[in-house]
Amino acid sequence: MEAPFFVKVVLNQEQIRAGVERLAGQVRAWYEERPITVVGVMTGSLVLLADLIRLLDMPLKVGLVQAASYEGTNRRPLSINPDMMPDVVGHDVLLVDDIFDTGHTLVEVVALIRSLGPKSLRSAVLLRKEGRQQVEHHPDFVAFDIDNQFVVGYGLDYCDAYRNLPYVAALEPDELHEPAE
Ligand code: 5GP
Ligand code: MG
């Protein structure tokens, strides 16, 4: 798929594939043959989740948790909906998210899952934005560090669009505006 004229490609399909393979290699090395429960943070982790689990060969279950913190490019208070959470009591849980930005989402979802009593909990993200973190906790597995810019594609959205781009692109500042009321 060609990049629309207004975006700058940050990671192309080939780079993403290599990064996700690297991530999967780290996850396989950590858990070896142990069964795991992979919990994806919806909706942004959808594409990574689908690609990552197909590169893992231990027995695994998949669950979802919904967390939302953006409207367009504006942050709003984080809301977490655990209704689709699988049973994690006594399980080795791998939390998967699209991007680690300020870190608040991951920290809150980690706290939620910890409160449910997993045997262990680690986290994996596709992207980490340089210099943005406001929390001590960092993900255990990170595929790419990127500059501080608003990115879309490979699951990441702007106003629910662009999740289906097979690459990761930065929206140029003049493309970022509030959705019409
Ligand atoms: P945090 O709580 O770490 O600041 O933000 C994490 C969540 O905000 C991510 O799961 C993602 O949904 C959203 N987010 C943060 N940065 C970006 C970005 O550059 N692009 C998009 N589309 N979402 C982002
Ligand atoms: Mg998210």
- The answer to whether the CB of 97 falls within 8 A of the CB of 44 is yes
In Å, what is the CA distance from 40 to each residue of 7, 16, 46, 47, 126?
27, 18, 7, 10, 12
Ligand 1 atom 20, closest CA: 151
Say if residue 178's pLDDT is above 60: no
101 included as an active-site residue: yes
pLDDT given for residue 130 in this prediction? 87
Active-site position among 51, 97, 98, 101: 101
State the burial class of residue 104 (Cβ atoms within 10 Å of its Cβ: 0-12, 13-18, 19+).
middle
> For 89-137, how does the pLDDT look when each residue is reduced to its tens digit (9 = 90+)?
999 999 999 999 999 999 999 999 999 999 999 999 999 998 888 998 8
Q: Is the pLDDT of residue 174 over 80?
A: no
Residue 66 Cα to ligand 2 middle (Å): 8
Ligand 1 centroid from CA 127, angstroms: 9
71-92: pLDDT as tens digits: 777 776 777 887 888 899 999 9
pTM to 2 decimals? 0.90
| Segment 174-178 mean pLDDT | 61
Q: What share of the chain is helix, strand, coil (3-state, %, to 5)?
A: 25, 35, 40
Checking if the pLDDT of 156 tops 60, the result is yes
Contact 72, 19 (CB under 8 A): no
Ion ligand 2: residue ranges with CB closer than 5 A:
44
Give the domain ranges of the chain.
13-66+78-146
Asked whether the predicted pLDDT for residue 4 surpasses 60, the reply is: no
* Segment 46-62, tens digit of pLDDT: 999 999 999 999 999 99
Q: How far is the CA of 117 from the centre of ligand 1 (A)?
A: 26
The one-letter amino acid at 104: H
101/90 Cα distance (integer angstroms): 29
The secondary structure of residue 119, as a DSSP letter, is S
- The model's pLDDT over 13-43, given as tens digits with 9 standing for 90+, comes to 999 999 999 999 999 999 999 999 999 999 9
pLDDT grade, residue 141 (50/70/90)?
very high
CATH code for the structural domain at 13-66+78-146: 3.40.50.2020
pLDDT band at residue 149 using 50, 70 and 90 as cut-offs: very high
